[in-house]
Structure 1
């Protein structure tokens, strides 16, 4: 049984090897489809972080029966191609909710209190509490949450009490499971009412650029946007224009349409943007957790025929079914 860790930012694969002690586990450090296809040859399962897993990869590595993502989003896998070939795709959907919610809360409060512009102004010699623009009492503001999965729910349960009103939109949450003290609104109303808006959606064809120029323009004057979900949810060009015009006061962004991002990006280094490098998920504990649970998906596929968290239900079985 051969498992290839296609790519990972982690310094080693000791955790994965410990979980999959009965397998041959190798590391490839491949990201583009050509390199991934070469690395995947002869593998039974792939674990990846940022690589693109395409139909060409599957065709070059016909032995692959399972692909596992370190994390939640699987938008870099050709899911249709996997399904057509009977290949399982799995993820780790419920790790790091505490970390992402805490990072989001830090971004929300930093935006509300204008920490980024005040820091820059003070560094340039300006000592003036009015120089960063209007700052309102948080209890007078409305917090909006687009998506009420594990992270969205954790966020509103921890910081919702700071805000005067909490509104949210998520068509997938049934009425009986809707959080108490959170007002349910439609999508446009969410944008129109949110003084601070936080995004918590997966990236799909239907959610790409859900925060487009029209909806971003619905946000109240001086509103702030926080995105710790997926960069592709936001029309970045429209966001730059609204920040430059002063229509929006601030943004806190941990995710980007193209990653890794860098200093050439118009939102990195922007005076109204708090920018971080897709780090919201991270703590020392969450890194170990996501690695262990990704490997456990493979272990479950071997022992039971199915991974723990299937995104695509496959038909292929592991070459061995029991340790």
Structure 2
């Protein structure tokens, strides 16, 4: 009997041991490749029954070109690499891992908030240049009592909310899909985006990337912010219009930014953000810890394994596909 082939379309890990531990015992063959384009995937994964995906584009064209494909599972929470309507049309399950890095990302968001507020990176760089003078950091304001605005209020933002309250911050939330009762559980005030922008001393962006949220924060929104405010993004880069953000920072509309994600990753060498002392920038690392990586890879592989064993995946994203398939519920 031919083993079902599962391809990892692209990955940054040194091996695929966690994926193998899930898929090999159920009789699947796991094949790691490094694809960047639709054509790469179609050429290298043409007999795939399952795909595990990181950044390569899983478009309608790709899925239509893989006749045996049953499931695509993406490393991470976001599924913007997968054409979800096409997957549903073609009867292909799409899965993600929505619950693997809540502490890591919320910790990282808080680290960026604190680094911006206390100007830790600026002073570190000055000391290493031989300038032992705290006055390079002026002004710094007390964090307790300041307003933290959370854009989107899912699992990660809710986890951050508890940490922010513990250090005395007030919470404002903008999320059109969250009821006021949920916000109240975290002692947070549900507000409009405009109120959040005008009232927040720090803004932490957690929105997923969709057609609705792309460039949600642009020139108009940045001009609403306090001149003393900082914006932090550990969600998806394109939620903030990067050209508008650069302009806001250059012209002093806001005090600074803490960025784990940007519109184009990695940035080009001439990106102005890399030269700004009031910007802390990290390489899309907020998700990472030893434990989170193991959990992510194991759960992603499980999403594929569940379909191969005749079940809908636990973390099925395109739930409308259920009408097209005769799979069992877990």
TM-score band by shorter chain is over 0.9
Shift of 1:221: 1.0
Show the counterpart of 2:52: 47
CA distance in structure 2 between the aligned counterparts of 1:158 and 1:171, rounded to whole angstroms:
23
* 1:181 partnered with 2:153: no
Q: Which moved more, 1:143-152 or 1:158-167?
A: 158-167
Shift of 1:185: 0.9
CA distance in structure 2 between the aligned counterparts of 1:260 and 1:308, rounded to whole angstroms:
32
Alpha-carbon distance change, 73 to 42 in structure 1, aligned in 2, over 3 angstroms: same
* 3-state secondary structure, aligned to 1:205: coil
CA distance in structure 1 between the aligned counterparts of 2:177 and 2:310, rounded to whole angstroms:
30
Shift of 1:78: 1.5
Show the counterpart of 1:4: 7
What does the per-residue CA deviation read over 1:4-42, in whole Å, with 9 as the maximum and x for residues that have no partner? 111111111111111012101100111211111212200
Shift of 1:240: 0.8
Show the counterpart of 2:177: 172
Matching of residues 242-257 of structure 1 within 5 Å: 242-257=248-263
Size of the alignment, in residue pairs?
319
Whether the 8 Å CA contact 1:88–1:316 is kept in 2: the answer is no
Q: How well do the aligned residues superpose, as a CA RMSD in angstroms?
A: 1.7
Whether the 8 Å CA contact 1:269–1:275 is kept in 2: the answer is no
Shift of 1:180: 3.2
* TM, length-normalised to structure 2: 0.92
CA distance in structure 2 between the aligned counterparts of 1:36 and 1:71, rounded to whole angstroms:
19
* 1:25 partnered with 2:27: no
Show the counterpart of 2:200: 194
Whether the 8 Å CA contact 1:262–1:268 is kept in 2: the answer is no
Whether the 8 Å CA contact 1:252–1:273 is kept in 2: the answer is yes
* 3-state secondary structure, aligned to 2:173: strand
Q: Which of 80, 84, 102 is the matching residue for 1:79?
A: 84
Segments of 5+ residues of structure 2 without an aligned counterpart are: none
Whether the 8 Å CA contact 2:70–2:307 is kept in 1: the answer is no
Alpha-carbon distance change, 7 to 274 in structure 1, aligned in 2, over 3 angstroms: same
